[in-house]
Amino acid sequence: MSRYAEFRAGWPTLLAALIGIGCGASPVPYNMVGHLVGPLQAEFGWGRGQIMLAVTVFGAVVMLLAPWFGALIDRKGVRKIGVAALIGFSLSWMATTLTTSNIYVYYGIWIVAGVLGGASIPISWTRAVNAWFVTNRGLALAIALLGTGFAGIALNLSAPWMIENYGWRGAVIGSALPALVLAAPFALLFLRDAPDTTIAGATEAQAQQNLHGATLKEATSTATFWIMFAAFAMVALAFGGLFVNFVPMLMDAGFEGGAAGAVASTIGVSILAGRLVAGALLDRYWAPYVAAPLFIAPAVACVIVATSTVTPTLATVTAVLIGFAAGVESDLIAYLAARYYGLKNYARIYGVLYMAFGFASAVSPPLYGWSYDIFGSYQIALFCGATLFTISAIIMFFMNRYPEEHAPT
């Protein structure tokens, strides 16, 4: 059988996962909030740290519920939970338009979005992709997670235009609709939780792999699990605030809103490239060999932004370097959880690993924002981010090699 035979059987699920990830709770709020900073400051007089704290609130809710989401997905299946979460996310994200001058209303809406839409993060979609792809798991996960890159490009290019023409509330509605009118129907029609031998092209390895894997207790008893937990936390702590605050950084450097959005969309392009390259390499090489250079790239970007005058060319270069980290971080969580611990309890294990990633991603944006409020620039936060990226690249080399019982065939 051809190395790429899995794609003939699994492409509908792969496409549904790509659209679901791109329209869900993972990329949309994080790409939009940077564009909302200016309008919210102008309308309500809030500080950047106060505005970005909503991302922390949202991420904390998703992080705390991630293991429960995972258990629910393992029991009920990806399609049911994923579709419901897309609908819940779309409606609750639209409710952001009801924000008043009472900032606790603003935070409360983000909490509701985390509860109702949190399961639309990659925890759902990667469970289905991992079930369908064994030999090409890294590449397939990379393709599915391209959804975040496409979302980054689309939202960063369209948000300034939507805000200018329809106000920030119209932009929020515009960013929420795809989950409801595109991703949810597509997942309902085409997503399959797992292959079986009655589907043409499905392999026995695909059909049987869900029967194997470590329990959550067994996974958390290994040093490799906690090394991954720490590495993902550090990368997310460095990356989350850098990504969300990148548009305000560019505007501080003199870029207009549209120009800043255009440069930020370059992050989405580099996410696409980095994700595909990393995914293909993960199928062939041990993960730290792939991850280390891609984690060092945004460390370099942090130093550049902190120490240089940001010209359009330099801004584009830093955006590309930043995108490399985003192009591999989510892929690694999904790939390594399945590769080290199998699929029997994949969503539960992924959910706990996501706690590290989600909590750090949530805390990071307001930390960058408060750093700006206190010091008048992002320089201190950027140097801290560069340090965290570098440490995370180093500690991954302390993981064990892949266990043969969960290796692709």
**Tens-place pLDDT, residues 365-404:** 888 888 888 888 888 999 999 999 999 999 999 999 888 6
Residue whose structure tokens are 């505007």: 251
Looking from the CA of 39 toward its CB, the CA atoms found within 13 Å total: 22
Query: Which residues are CB-contacts of 390 (< 8 A; sequence separation ≥ 6)?
Result: 295, 296, 299
pLDDT, position 60: 83
CB count, 10 Å around CB of 267?
A: 29
Q: What percent of the chain has pLDDT over 70?
A: 92
Long-range contacts of 82-85 (CB under 8 A, 24+ apart): 82/20, 82/119, 82/120, 82/124, 82/125, 82/187, 82/191, 83/184, 83/187, 83/188, 83/191, 84/119, 85/24, 85/25, 85/116, 85/117, 85/118, 85/119, 85/120, 85/124
281/408: higher pLDDT: 281
Residue 408 has pLDDT above 60, yes or no: no
Say how many domains are in the chain. Answer: 1
Give the pLDDT score at 406: 46
Using the predicted structure, report yes or no on whether residue 357 has a pLDDT greater than 60: yes
Mean per-residue pLDDT for 261-269?
76
Q: How far apart are the first and last CA of the chain?
A: 12
Q: What is the pLDDT of residues 43-56, one digit of tens each?
A: 999 988 788 888 88
Which residues, in sequence order, are bridge partners of residue 342? 213
Rg (C-alpha) for the chain, rounded Å, is: 20
* Strand partners of residue 213: 342
Tell whether the model's pLDDT for residue 289 goes beyond 70: yes
Q: What is the pLDDT of residue 135?
A: 81
Mean pLDDT within 79-102: 93
d(CA 261, CA 170): 17
Indicate the range of 43-47, 191-195, 232-236, 404-408 predicted with least confidence. 404-408
Domain assignment of residue 119, given as a range:
5-406
Contact 152, 31 (CB under 8 A): yes
Confidence of residue 98 (pLDDT cuts 50, 70, 90): very high
* Residue 148 belongs to domain with CATH number: 1.20.1250.20
**Average pLDDT, stretch 296-304?**
88
Task: Give which of 129, 111, 130, 115 is closest to 20, Cα–Cα.
Answer: 129
Query: Cβ–Cβ contacts within 10 Å for residue 400, how many?
Result: 11
